[in-house]
Every structure is written in structure tokens, then in C-alpha cells.
Structure 1
Amino acid sequence: MDRPELPLPQLHAFTVLAEELHFGRAAARLGIAQPPLSQQIARLEAKVGHPLFVRGPGRVALSPAGRELLPSAQRALAGLADGLAAARAVGSGRAGRLRIGFSASLALTVLPGLLRTFRERFPAVELDIREMTTAPQLAALREDAVDIGLLREPPPAGEEGALGFRTVLTEPFVAVLPSDHPLAARRTVGVGALAEEPFVLLPRAVGPGLYDRITEVCGSVGFAPRIAQHAVEWQTVCALVGAGLGVSLAPASIRRIRLRGVAFRAIEPSTVRTRVAVAWRRDDPNPLVGQLLEVVGTE
């Protein structure tokens, strides 16, 4: 059985008249003349099939059918008002849902402050935070599975395609060594001193830009790192180094991972740095993307 359509103007006219119980006052409140108000009520009564008001000399009262309809009409109008307010908030970028992918190591640097600032400015926005390495982030952005990516070593200029990138920060590399390694006695380690050491690194598949940057640093002093072990997370890389499986080069923020048996040392050349960037789809219509980019620009 089809439900009768109840136009919102008729429900609005009905609720206002039910509150005023006076055609003149109700019409004035609605900003219309009394005849159009009477027509709206008559059309609604025709749809209901019963009178909604009892009309008498100098008085208007709700009929039993009118008393039954009034709570539902009020809820419908309130729901519409709430929906319109929510739609305006989302459309203006003051509310909604933002899906953010991030590389785990950024939880040690830029991520907490960025999320705190964004939350303070836009408390009504729901944040969906997803930990993932760089390559899965790029795929998720292209597939519209996340709205924002926070990653290391974005693709080089000319390979961005439909994605935009903005550098958030750069940071130096450090050597990650077993604490009993002879090089751990130094304050600074030349990258060339690691030439004969086995390396523990992230697989290239999960972070090709960072992997290539590390091998480029090694290549700049004349050697290609000999990979003894791969690990997807930096904490695991550090744990394997501490277990004596090799050494590594890592972003300096990794020093905040406190593990027994692991030493972090500055490297030479000290000018070598890794880049952290925010990524997004250039054609994304979600206004929250622009709001987060504004926050990034003020951090």
C-alpha cells in the first residue's frame, strides 16, 4: 500500500495553526493571507480523509485526528531542519567525515599536533584515522578509500598524476645500530662506514620512495646496501637491529622508539634529509580536504 505524500508546506501550515489555534495569527506567522492558509489545511485534510480542526464561532481546536497527526508532523519538520543544518555544516566544511591514512613513523612527529589542531578548529568532524605505509596510501587515495595521506617520500615531480602533494617537514636520517656495535661508540657515523654491514630495511613495495632514498644515500658514498632482512614497521626494524641482524638508516624521529640494545647516531653527510608530505586527490569535492590543508599550512 502506497503511503500518501504529505507536502511539507501543508505540514508546516498545520503545525503553526495547531500551535496558534487562530487562523489570523497563524497566517501572519507564516507570512501569508488567510485564504491560502485555509487552502493548505483543506488539502491536507483531504489527504488525511478527516478534519484536523474543529471550527466554531470564535474558536479553533484540534480534532482527534489533528491531535494524532501533530507529534508526527512536528518530528518530520524538526528532522528536516536538523537535516538541513547538517547538510549546510558538511557543505561548508564544518562537519562530516575525513578519512586520513598515515605512515606509522609520523605518529612520532607531525601527526599528533596536526590532529590536535584540526580537532580544535573543527570539533564536529569525524576523523577516521588509518595506519598504512606509503604505497597502500597512494593506492587508497587513487581508489577513493581515504581522503588524505600523510606519507614519506612522495613520488617525484611529474609522476603525481591526479594526486597533489605538499611538503610538511623534512628531517635528517640517523644510523640505527646494535648498542654494542663498535660504531655506536661514535657520536657521528659516516654512511660509508656501513658499507660492509648487513641492512634491515622496509620492503621497497611498501615505501618505494623512502627505500630508494636510503639506497641513494648509500650509493652517494659508493656502495649498495646488502639487505639481510626486511620488516614492514620501523619498530620491528629497530628490534631486529637490536637482535644483531644488521644495521639501518632511518628518519631521525625513529629515535623516539626506545628499545633496549639499540643505538641511534647522527650520520655524515648531515645534509641528507627525508621528506614528509600530505597527499590528496586534486579533484576531491570534499571541503574537509581543503580545511585540513589549511591547517597543514599553519602548522
Structure 2
Amino acid sequence: MDRPELPLPQVHAFAVLAEELHFGRAAARLGIAQPPLSQQIARLETKVGHPLFVREPGRVALTPAGRALLPAARRALADLADGLAAARAVGDGRAGRLRIGFSASLALTVLPGLLGTFRERWPDVELDLREMTTAPQLAALRERTIDVGLLREPPDDDGAGPLAFRTVLTERFVAVLPADHRLAAQRVVDITELAESPFVLLPRPAGPRLYDRITELCGTAGFAPRIVQHAVEWQTVCALVGAGLGVSLAPASIRRLRLREVAFRPVEPRTARTRVAAAWRREDRSPLVANLLAAL
């Protein structure tokens, strides 16, 4: 059986009149004249098929049908009010779900402060954090499975592609050395001094630009790194270095891992730096994304 449609103004008028039990007061509360209120109630009664109110001189009361309808009318109005509030919150960027991809090393730098600031300003937003290297983040942005990426060495932004980028910070590179390596005794390591050592690096597909940046630094120093082992995460790279498999070049934030078997030393030239950027879809007008960029 088809359910009758109950227009919201009629339901609202019914609920107010059921509370006031007086047509004049109910009409004033609704901001309408008494005749239109009577018409709304009459139309609703026609849809229900039974009187909802007893109308007697000096007395208005709910009928059994009216008493049966009132709880559902109140629930409908409350649900609508909740829905409107939720819609406004999402539209303002105060609620909803934001999917953020991030490179693991950023958990040691920008990510904790960013999340703290964002949660303080927008505590009702659900954050879905996904640890990913740079290339998978770019793919996930294009495939719309994340909303914002925080990544290293983003591609060049010509202003015309589907993704937009904003630099968040730059940081120096450090040499990652076994604690007993001869260069660990130095305060600063020139990249040229790493020429004879085997290297442990991230695989190029995980972050092509960062991989190329590191090999470019070695090339400028006059050698091609002899890579003996790859590892997807920087923590694994450092653990393998600590185990004596080789050395590496890594973003300076990696020093916060504080592994006993590993020494981290700043490198020369000081201009050897890596860039961290936020990435998002250029056409995305989500207030959640805008708020995250504001927090950055």
C-alpha cells in the first residue's frame, strides 16, 4: 500500500497545535494567521482520514488518532532538524570525513602539529589517515580514494594538471651511517665521502622524484651510488643500515628515529634539501580540504 505524503508545514502545524491546544497561540507561534492554520490541519486530517483534534467552544484536545500521530510527527521534525544541522556542519567543513595520505617520515615532522591544529579547530571531522609513499598518493588522488596527500618531492606543477601542490617545508638531507662507520666520527659528512660505500635506498617506484633527487646529489658529487638493497619505509632503510648493509641519504627528520646502531650526520653541500608538499585535486571545492590547507 502506498504511504501518503505528509507535507512538512502540515506536520509542523499539527505538532505546534498539539502542544498549545489553542489555535490563536499556535498560529502566533507559527507566524501565520489562524485561518491558514485551520486549513493546514484540515488538509492533514483529510490525508489521515480521521479528525486529529476535538474542537469545542473554549476547548481544543487531541483525538485518539491525534495522540497516535504526535510521537511520529515529533520524531520527523527532530530528525529533520538533526539532518539540517548535519548538512550545515558538512557544508561548513565542521563535520564529515577527510582522507589524508602521508609519507611515513612526515609523522616525524609536520603531521603531528597539523593534526593537533586541525582537531582543535574542527573536532567533529573524522580523519582517515593512510600511510603511503609518494607515487601511490598521487595515484590515490587521481582515483579519488584520498582527498589530500602529504608527500615528498612532488612533480612540477604547471598549473594545468588535475592536481595542485603547495610546499609545506623543505629540510636538509642527512647521511645515514652504521654507528661504527669511519664517517660517524665526523660532525658533517661531505657527500663525496660516501662514494665508496654501498647504499640502501627506497625503490624508485615508491617515490621517483625523491629517488632521482638522491641519485642526482650523488652524481653532482661525482659518483653513482652502488645500491645493494631497497626498502619501502625509511625506518626499514635505517634498520638495514644499522645492520651494516650500507649507508643512505635521507631527510633530516629521520634523525628522530634515534636508533642505537645508526648515526645521522648533516651533509655538505647545505643546499642539498628535500621538499615536502600538500597535494589535492585542483577542482576539489570541499570545505574539508580547504580547512586542512588553512591549518597547514
TM-score, normalised with respect to structure 1: 0.96
Deviation for aligned residue 1:40: 0.8
Provide the C-alpha distance between the structure 2 equivalents of 1:41 and 1:160, rounded to a whole number of angstroms: 58
Superposed, which structure 2 residues align to 1:1-299 within 5 Å?
1-158=1-158, 161-296=161-296
Deviation for aligned residue 1:17: 0.4
Structure 2 residue ranges without an equivalent (≥5): none
Provide the C-alpha distance between the structure 2 equivalents of 1:157 and 1:289, rounded to a whole number of angstroms: 19
Deviation for aligned residue 1:21: 0.3
Deviation for aligned residue 1:85: 1.2
Provide the C-alpha distance between the structure 2 equivalents of 1:160 and 1:201, rounded to a whole number of angstroms: 32
Provide the C-alpha distance between the structure 1 equivalents of 2:73 and 2:171, rounded to a whole number of angstroms: 60
The one-character-per-residue Cα deviations of 1:217-237 (angstroms, maximum 9, x if unpaired) are 101111111110000000000
The one-character-per-residue Cα deviations of 1:79-136 (angstroms, maximum 9, x if unpaired) are 1111111111111222222111100100000000011011111112111111111111
Conserved? CA contact 2:251–2:274, under 8 Å:
yes
The residue identity in structure 1 corresponding to 2:215 is T
Provide the C-alpha distance between the structure 2 equivalents of 1:270 and 1:31, rounded to a whole number of angstroms: 72
Provide the C-alpha distance between the structure 1 equivalents of 2:159 and 2:208, rounded to a whole number of angstroms: 13
Provide the C-alpha distance between the structure 1 equivalents of 2:133 and 2:90, rounded to a whole number of angstroms: 29
Deviation for aligned residue 1:159: 8.4
The residue identity in structure 2 corresponding to 1:185 is A
Over aligned residues, Cα RMSD in angstroms? 1.2
Pick which of 55-64 and 92-101 moved more.
Answer: 92-101
Provide the C-alpha distance between the structure 2 equivalents of 1:34 and 1:262, rounded to a whole number of angstroms: 83
The residue identity in structure 2 corresponding to 1:93 is G
Provide the C-alpha distance between the structure 2 equivalents of 1:48 and 1:211, rounded to a whole number of angstroms: 71
The one-character-per-residue Cα deviations of 1:165-200 (angstroms, maximum 9, x if unpaired) are 111111000000111111111111111111121110
Conserved? CA contact 2:157–2:164, under 8 Å:
no
The residue identity in structure 2 corresponding to 1:189 is V
Provide the C-alpha distance between the structure 1 equivalents of 2:117 and 2:64, rounded to a whole number of angstroms: 54
The one-character-per-residue Cα deviations of 1:244-293 (angstroms, maximum 9, x if unpaired) are 11110000000111222111111111221100111111110211111111
Deviation for aligned residue 1:160: 7.0
The residue identity in structure 1 corresponding to 2:205 is A
Provide the C-alpha distance between the structure 2 equivalents of 1:112 and 1:64, rounded to a whole number of angstroms: 59
Distance 1:235 1:160, change over 3 A: farther
The residue identity in structure 2 corresponding to 1:137 is Q
Structure 1 residue ranges without an equivalent (≥5): none
Provide the C-alpha distance between the structure 2 equivalents of 1:59 and 1:112, rounded to a whole number of angstroms: 64
Deviation for aligned residue 1:48: 1.1
TM-score, normalised with respect to structure 2: 0.97
The residue identity in structure 2 corresponding to 1:70 is L
Distance 1:132 1:159, change over 3 A: farther
The residue identity in structure 1 corresponding to 2:19 is E
Provide the C-alpha distance between the structure 2 equivalents of 1:268 and 1:154, rounded to a whole number of angstroms: 23
Q: Find the residue that maps to 1:259 and give its secondary structure.
A: coil
Moved over 4 A (4+): none
Pick which of 234-243 and 286-295 moved more.
Answer: 286-295
Give the fraction of aligned pairs with identical amino acids, expressed as a percent.
81
Conserved? CA contact 2:157–2:165, under 8 Å:
no
Q: Find the residue that maps to 1:168 and give its secondary structure.
A: strand
Q: Find the residue that maps to 2:206 and give its secondary structure.
A: coil
Provide the C-alpha distance between the structure 2 equivalents of 1:285 and 1:70, rounded to a whole number of angstroms: 41
Conserved? CA contact 2:202–2:211, under 8 Å:
yes
